[in-house]
Structure 1
């Protein structure tokens, strides 16, 4: 009897496998010629396959699903932050301290305040719990907490303008380094902004809130996290160089070392309750401080490959678990939150945040000359201001808020208070809608820019009767000739491989691994 397995595990493997299988064949075409973000494609696949995956069912409830999402996003952020910080130039934090401090302290604070004001002004909640059924604005402290979620920039989505052919042609190296460094650091620095608002909400008196904020968040999470990352990075750099020189470390372990460090940080910082994301950023900078590890792994593909597949899996997962039903008020089969924000207001909020949350701040800092020498003209300032996407880091801090609401904004019986319920429901609606909008907008921004620029230049330089038209037949003929040329090359390669097998392979000795060879004096 044939045993057909259609459980959740096999469905998940099938969805991920089919998508990555198809993406593999056109990955260069999609990312380097069409400039479409693979994160956008993964998110769309997850959204389409979400009903098949049934995340809520296999997770065992909403709270378990929130915990899984919190840890999954934490893992992805730590991997991305560590790998991006390792790729920065040696002594980057010292040489770029002015631009980094301005972007993180001034830029991130202003971004947080602007986001808060926009959320507070636009998000009028239709509260069905009131007797009169009237509307009201969300509490300003709630807006502060939600605004803190969208203040950090996402390193995964921001990598679109840091790596690849488009970045090599349009983004100068100092600007790409600033974008990469800022997006890595501000993910870990989002904790103070989030927990300041949460502590003020939980401890209305103010004294306990400040004690928790400065003692727990600033002292324990931030300072201890940065210190622990620096210590592990320093020890790792010295030990790895010593044992690598003694030929005690094989190639596989050497290239996989950043992944090992990420697991180490998540485990140790998690047990201590410290900030593992900031620790990963500091560790990466310390590890590559003298440039030795960066140069030694210049040809490495293990770390970037692991990062790519982890991010694809994460965005498929996020698309699958996105609570689309919370936006559908007209569906009678779905239980809608009593604190409901109309979709048209969420659309207005997403547009406002994409246009005003970060762009005016970076333009102002550029005009004041505070971002030099990394940002040298208006175009670069516009680029760094626009490409501040909201993605994995926003979802991560959202689930920190949800966890806080469940455990701190609750009564003695464990049920959330009305204030906690409102923050819980409103933050989910705002963050998920804004993140979805950012993934779509920043995923297609470069293709739209490239298409618009090409059309403008062609139409401006040619006469009306000579303006370009879509030549589908020419494109098909070009691709047909390319396919024919590639197939001929494959036949030649197969012929050479057969000759090599017949003549060389039988007498070819088995190679000895380099790390097992005896050192010579």
Structure 2
């Protein structure tokens, strides 16, 4: 039992962030991304973009063959309504706690916190604890949801930005529909799917003719994700959805996944990128801004915000609609799925993207748009820090609880069609 208790399953998200804080300005001041001046936000945006694109492409490849087609109904319920509910609720919480932000500005900040982060979510979809204790259906649906809703954060951010900077509501809604949905989301998804499909056919033909060997698939794993991101970004489409669609398309028939299934090289690359990314985030966190009374930001308000978001952002809605999602069989699994909606790389990425579309704030801010630009990253980054701590340590907490109560940890369906969720029986 003592040995089992030591297996805390602490992942690279928590460790990387902790190390980043230690070497960052708060402690050692060895690595300080925010000291890079005007380039800080651009570098942060692109670092997060690369990590997300590779992670989303990997998520698409890891899903079973034709998964998106067979589980389209469940994903539609899990992604769009859940995101919309969380977006509106989180915005309301932000508006109440920070009344200087109007509701439209609160919607913009909430859009950064709406997507589930696929990198942080890896603790329950890929780790050893997940394989032993979480049902396969839950793992895949959470992985697919986290990947899909990352790209769909664009429309939620776009409508908030347009309503903030446009003088006409009609103009804002028109741009949101044409640019946010038709051009970015629809075009990005179709573009990624076409690239993935064509590349899949090319790889199969090359493999059958012995033009390439198995090792080439690993090299193309990285190359295709970066290529898809480059094409989509160049034309202004949603590069995150494009990368996920490309990953799904290239492994649609299962051939690509079979070629790389037993190779650990890409997993190592993925872990290295994730570690580096969260070290960057740990050093990037603006601790100095968490007590800024001039912007109505205080530590106790930020703590209340984190608690309210963790409780209200996903859990109530998933508990209400889980019966329409076949992969979730009982309320315990719905509670588990609702809790594991972490915020991390995607939230930092969307907040950095928002700053590229907002004016540079003066001191004091001249209008609501400048006030939003001055407060968006302090609020988002503190919630990200809270999510990393809470979600990153949830798995160790579950494991210690299971060992302490001397229960057999099992999330898998038994012969009596019961499901054990962290020691709770459905």
TM-score, scaled to structure 2:
0.90
1:358 corresponds to 2:314: yes
**Larger CA Rg, structure 1 vs 2:** 1
- Kept in 2, the 8 Å contact 1:255–1:302? The answer is yes
Aligned counterparts, 1:324-473, within 5 A: 324-329=287-292, 338-366=294-322, 369-372=323-326, 374-406=327-359, 417-457=366-406
Query: Hey, what does 1:116 align to over in structure 2?
Result: 91
Q: 1:32: Cα distance to partner?
A: 9.7
Partner of 1:85: 60
Change (3 A) 1:281 1:64: same
Question: 344-353 or 162-171: which moved more?
Answer: 162-171
Which structure 1 residue ranges, 4+ long, deviate > 6 Å from structure 2?
A: 29-32
Tell me by how many angstroms 1:123 deviates.
Answer: 2.3
**Alignment partner of 1:305 is 2:268:** yes
Q: Could you tell me how far 1:30 is from its partner in structure 2?
A: 12
Is residue 289 from structure 1 mapped to residue 252 from structure 2 by the alignment? yes
Q: Deviations over 1:480-503 (max 9, x none)?
A: xxxxxxxxxxxxxxxxxxxxxxxx
Alignment gaps of 5+ in structure 1:
1-28, 125-136, 330-336, 459-521
CA change 1:227–1:417 in 2 (3 A) is farther
Separation in structure 2 between the aligned mates of residue 423 and residue 73 of structure 1, nearest angstrom: 21
| Aligned position for 2:164 | 201
Alignment of 1:66 onto 2:41: yes
Q: Which residue of 2 aligns with 1:47?
A: 21
Matched, 1:166 2:126: no
Structure 2, unmatched stretches of 5+, are 408-426
C-alpha displacement at 1:269, in angstroms? 1.2
Task: Confirm or deny that 1:94 pairs with 2:69.
Answer: yes
Q: What is residue 500 of structure 1 aligned with on the other side?
A: none
CA RMSD of aligned residues (A): 2.0
Offset at 1:455?
2.3
Give the CA deviation at 1:56. Answer: 3.5
Deviations 1:417-457 (A, max 9, x none): 52222101221121011000000111111111221233234
Q: How does 1:194-233 map to 2 (within 5 A)?
A: 194-233=157-196
Rounded to whole Å, the distance in 1 between the matches of 2:257 and 2:230 is 25
Distance in 2 (alpha carbons) for counterparts of 1:215 and 1:177: 32
1:191 equivalent to 2:180? Answer no
| 1-structure distance, mates of 2:133, 2:202 | 39
Query: What is the SS of the residue equivalent to 2:324?
Result: coil
1:267 aligns with 2:267: no
Match of 2:144 among 178, 181, 186: 181
Q: Is the 8 A contact 2:5 2:403 kept in 1?
A: no
| Distance change (3 Å), C-alpha of 1:348 and 1:388 | same
Per-residue CA distance 1:38-67 (angstroms, 9 max, x = gap): 11111011111011113244x3x1x31100
**Cα deviation digits, residues 386-415 of structure 1 (max 9, x gap):** 0000100000110111111137x99xxxx9
